[in-house]
Structure 1
Amino acid sequence: MYFTDRGVEELSQRRGEESVTLDWLADQLRTFVDLHPQYEDAVEELATYLARLDDLDD
């Protein structure tokens, strides 16, 4: 397990039963970057990855 997996595991445990929209997720990512601009590049890469998941099959 990677060190960063701890946050992913916590998210799954605490909020795994919830349903959210992608609009909600996008808003949360924007808020996070507003509060932590040093992570803008990583959030951008994650958002692009999620947006293009269908393209990975090509």
Structure 2
Amino acid sequence: MGEFTDKVKGAADKVVGSVKESVGKVTNDPELEIKGKAQKIKGDAEKAKGTVKGKLNDL
């Protein structure tokens, strides 16, 4: 994947993760809440990956 694709996928994962985490809190579903937190972390990693790819392309 390219830099832009990684960043968009990361942003999407952060949003979906936030929704899952919120729904997990509201419904008192700790498993869903944990999955949401994990997906948010995955999103952060994907955004970072995209940033690194961009910096490497600038060299």
The question of a shared fold, defined as TM-score above 0.5 by the shorter chain, is answered with no
Specify the structure having the higher radius of gyration (Cα). 2
User: What is the TM-score when the length of structure 2 is the normalising length?
Assistant: 0.38
Larger RCO: Structure 1 or Structure 2 (Cα < 8 Å, ≥ 6 residues apart)? 2
**Higher helix fraction: Structure 1 or Structure 2?**
2
User: What is the TM-score when the length of structure 1 is the normalising length?
Assistant: 0.38
